[in-house]
Structure 1
Amino acid sequence: MVAKKSGLGKGLDALIPAGNKKAPVKKETEPVIIEKIVEKKGVETLKITEVEPNREQPRKNFNEDALLELSDSIKQYGVIQPLIVQKKGDHYEIIAGERRWRAAKMAGIKEIPVIIKDYSDQQVMEISLIENIQREDLNPIEEAMAYKNLMEEFHLKQDEIAEKVSKSRTAVTNSMRLLKLDKRVQQMMIDDMISAGHARTLITIEDPDVQYNIATKIFDEKLSVRETEKMVKLIQKPEVKKEKAEKVNSFIYKDIEEKIKAILGTKVTVDHRSNNKGRISIEYYSNDELERILFLLESIN
């Protein structure tokens, strides 16, 4: 993930107005004071069943171990910092504090402190994004998707987003470039199988299958970012690009051959073709061996 600054400049205080008057859906510029979030004045108590998460919350993944730790703390001391919520029909929607809400539910808490606000959709998305960035809770793909949503839904430019989250425009641009990666590679980032640094080296590779194959090789062989960069440069040399890509694929399919061979205990050949189709050949040397291989195949779930 792009390195985060220790402070976020205007941060949340640049997004949260002092009053409760509903703001129009536009670019928010009202200056405010961040203490408004945590001050005790205006804190109310709601039944935890009345509060629900924001479906547009940028963060989709929550670390279960961290939630358990927070839940244990809440059992002892309660929810110290109130959630920020707003009225939505017959319930209250979380603007900031979903992690506390989840941990409180795990702790069996029945009521939860909240500050009720009234924000525009744009403000809600910006506040949720900034809260998560401040806590370094977003994975690289969640952060990139949040930037994309701000651009597409509220027509913000990258430099405007960068100012709101106190990052450079280059950092926002590089984050969003990760969305060009194959979905399988993005999932590997979410699962911490490869780093954002590894992933950025793969962006210039157009073939999604080659992207994924290299990402798998990075994970299997614990390649460094520098080693990955060297591999990608070899593939992208114009005069040998196709040859090197085929070499990488050949290595990968040779590895697959060896793995199947280890399972079946006989010679296996993987004939991969350019259209991503191919043939697997399994050799046997007696009827007994054929029956043994058949038994192994049938036992595979």
Structure 2
Amino acid sequence: MSSERRGLGKGLEALIPPAPTPSGVTEVEVDRIVPNPRQPRQALDPEALQELATSIEEQGLVQPLVVTEVEGGFQLLVGERRWRAAQLAGLEMVPVVIREATPQQMVELALVENLQREDLNPLETATAYQQLVEEFGMTQQEVADKVGKNRVTVTNTLRLLKLPDEVKNALLSDEISEGHARAMLRLRGGVAQLQVLQAIINKGLSVRQTEDLVRRMVEEPKTEPKPPQKSPELRALEDEFRQALGTKVNLTQGSRGGRLVIYYYSDEELQGIYDVIVGD
């Protein structure tokens, strides 16, 4: 096991100590259980859920759910997939372990459970990290310690939330991978990121190809816009001014007038220009 997953092995006891009352396995009605509103996972695979329901029909629910008591029933802490599959399988009673938990512990436990199972989409993970930081005042380092990741990993995951909605939706629907999304973070502005997204989808770019494309876009020098070409008539008039004044002249013309710039390089030249224009 790598050092980055060190916190995930601590298990339920480390995050939520047993309640002061006996907390062994007991049976409760499945319809008295409500889902964890702080569950970071936003979607469940219907096909995988049905497969689990079929297994539960045949073998029963072997691993108990973990719940906490709330008014009128119980709230899930661990085991939402098993709970929903048990409902599909038609179970009326399910085994549970009852624990006490604060709102913060509910987020932490749901997050750690899904990270252990690698069930979360990167955006779901980022949203859970953000909830721990913003709602419970945890630092990114504290979040990293809690879930067994290093701080840089947590920081980079949180940055995914800054991507345009179109990119985030593509990541949620598996049109692009986390590697594609991370590559786009180098770009400033949603327009460029959306251009890369379309290139990934239309051309089937790999993560490495996406990184190369982004690098070229970042390193591409910004060229100054070329001034509009002057008409022959305007150039001829500019030459006449130059000859008459004996110095460099720049004449530009727009739709509502123009500008005549006369250059001089000494007081004597300025006096000469004055004499030509104003006279004695």
Shift of 1:227: 1.0
Aligned match of 2:13 = 13
Which of 57, 78, 87 is matched with 1:96 structurally? Answer: 78
1:220 aligns with 2:195: no
Aligned match of 1:207 = 189
Q: Which amino acid aligns with 1:228?
A: T
Aligned match of 2:177 = 195
Q: Deviations over 1:97-146 (max 9, x none)?
A: 00001111111111111111111111111001000000001000000000
What secondary structure does 2:8 align onto? coil
Q: Which amino acid aligns with 2:165?
A: K
Q: Which amino acid aligns with 2:114?
A: N
Shift of 1:214: 1.3
Aligned match of 1:69 = 51
Aligned match of 2:120 = 138
For 2:106 and 2:223, the matched residues in 1 are separated by 46
What secondary structure does 1:10 align onto? helix
| Mapping of residues 1-301 of structure 1, within 5 Å | 5=5, 8-20=8-20, 42-237=24-219, 239-240=221-222
Q: Which amino acid aligns with 2:13?
A: D
User: Aligned pair in 2 of structure 1 residues 82, 11: CA closer, same or farther (>3 Å)?
Assistant: closer
Q: Deviations over 1:56-115 (max 9, x none)?
A: 111111111111111111001111111111122222110110000111111111111111
Q: Which amino acid aligns with 2:106?
A: V
**Conserved in 2, the CA contact under 8 Å of 1:9 and 1:165?**
no
For 1:142 and 1:121, the matched residues in 2 are separated by 18
Larger radius of gyration: 2
Q: Deviations over 1:239-274 (max 9, x none)?
A: 23899xxxxxxxxxxxxxxxxxxxxxxxxxxxxxxx
Shift of 1:159: 1.2
Give the 4+ runs in structure 1 shifted more than 6 A: none
Shift of 1:7: 7.6
For 1:9 and 1:48, the matched residues in 2 are separated by 29
Q: Which amino acid aligns with 1:151?
A: V
TM-score by length of 1: 0.69
Q: Which amino acid aligns with 2:171?
A: M
What secondary structure does 2:193 align onto? helix
Deviates more, 1:83-92 or 1:203-212: 203-212
For 1:194 and 1:98, the matched residues in 2 are separated by 26
For 2:157 and 2:221, the matched residues in 1 are separated by 31
TM-score by length of 2: 0.74
**Conserved in 1, the CA contact under 8 Å of 2:6 and 2:148?**
no
**Conserved in 2, the CA contact under 8 Å of 1:151 and 1:157?**
yes
What secondary structure does 2:43 align onto? coil
Aligned match of 2:273 = none
For 2:196 and 2:120, the matched residues in 1 are separated by 25
Q: Which runs of 5+ in 2 are unaligned?
A: 226-280
Q: Which amino acid aligns with 1:45?
A: E
**Conserved in 1, the CA contact under 8 Å of 2:7 and 2:145?**
no
What secondary structure does 2:40 align onto? coil
Aligned match of 1:286 = none
Deviates more, 1:10-19 or 1:70-79: 10-19
**RMSD after superposition:** 2.2
**Conserved in 2, the CA contact under 8 Å of 1:79 and 1:112?**
yes
User: Aligned pair in 2 of structure 1 residues 242, 169: CA closer, same or farther (>3 Å)?
Assistant: farther
Q: Deviations over 1:191-210 (max 9, x none)?
A: 00000001001112222132
Shift of 1:231: 1.1
**Conserved in 1, the CA contact under 8 Å of 2:7 and 2:146?**
no
For 1:242 and 1:105, the matched residues in 2 are separated by 65
Aligned match of 1:31 = none
For 1:137 and 1:98, the matched residues in 2 are separated by 12
Q: Which amino acid aligns with 2:10?
A: K
